[in-house]
Amino acid sequence: MKQVNAIMGLLAAGALLFLLMPIVTILPIALSSGDYISYPLPGLSLRWLSQVALHPGWREALANSIFIALGSAMLATLFGTLAAVGLVQAAPRQARALRGLLMLPVAIPSVVLGLGLYFLLARAGLLSTYTGLILAHATISFPLVMVVVGASLATTDLVVIRAAQSLGAGWRMIFLSVLVPMLYPAILAGFILAFLNSFDEVIVTMFIAGPEQNTVPRVLFANLRDRLDPSVVAVTVLMLLLSALLGLLLQLLARWTQRRPADQ
């Protein structure tokens, strides 16, 4: 048994090392004093991090990314939560079929989804607009919220819904006064996942966005093609830090959710 555990531990350590090595390898390049991406580093400097922080193009892209991610995350959270609640109320066979259909935005290739959204939004006159981008990002993010909130609903005693119905409460009151207070940790976790998913999205964005809707991943992709210098790595490091901070927030939220019944 000890040998099996040792082998499993080695395999887990190897898999973890394989996942972390690309990240660990690029981190020092963000602190390079050279003009190009190269190893060994010619020296250490904060020039590329400060250049990214002060460059108007990167700042505009960051503002666009945050605006689009916040808008799409709010929409995805609303519709994802409503979808999860609706699936709980449906018959099991219908719920399985509907869940499969609603998961399509994350199941089909991003290129196919981006092309479909391109033609749909073009007919609606929303191409190259912030509204179109927010709707497109919400489409690919709301299944994540639906899964997270649905998982929380699966462990929730839904007798409170029937109790509220027996007291004459309508669905609007049940949703706002019963379900949201019970599910808000899962709703907040879904919002964070939707925000991260939108902030990192690039393929669908390239189909929908116009010249004025530059986002951080889109500018990063363009720089990788046209000008490969350590500023690209500096932006990557900053995105990693943002993802790590939000991931830590998710972990703290999960711990707090697990402890909440004990506290009550």
User: In angstroms, rounded to a whole number, what is the distance separating the alpha carbons of residues 130 and 126?
Assistant: 8
Residue 113 lies in a domain: yes
User: In angstroms, rounded to a whole number, what is the distance separating the alpha carbons of residues 226 and 222?
Assistant: 6
| More confident call, 71 vs 246 | 71
Residue 114 lies in a domain: yes
User: In angstroms, rounded to a whole number, what is the distance separating the alpha carbons of residues 60 and 67?
Assistant: 11
Amino acid, res. 103: M
> What residue numbers bound the domain in which 93 lies?
55-156+184-213
Residue 208 lies in a domain: yes
Percent of the chain with pLDDT over 90: 27
Closest CA to 219 of 78, 49, 57, 99: 57
Residue 191 lies in a domain: yes
Instruction: Please state the domain count of the chain.
Output: 1
Q: What is the pLDDT of residue 89?
A: 82
Q: What pTM did the predictor assign?
A: 0.83
User: In angstroms, rounded to a whole number, what is the distance separating the alpha carbons of residues 136 and 121?
Assistant: 9
Residue 120 lies in a domain: yes
**Cα three-residue angle 196-198-202, rounded to 5 degrees:** 115
Cα dihedral: 199, 205, 208, 213 (round 10): 60
Residue 123 lies in a domain: yes
**Phi, psi at residue 44, to the nearest 5°?**
-105, 140
Residue 161 has pLDDT above 80, yes or no: no
Residue 249 lies in a domain: no
Q: With bands split at pLDDT 50, 70 and 90, how would you rate the model's confidence at 261?
A: low
Q: What is the pLDDT of residues 9-53, one digit of tens each?
A: 889 888 888 888 877 887 888 888 878 777 777 788 888 888 888
CATH of the domain at 134: 1.10.3720.10
Residue 178 lies in a domain: no
Non-local (6+) Cβ contacts of 158 within 8 A are 88
Residue 263 has pLDDT above 70, yes or no: no
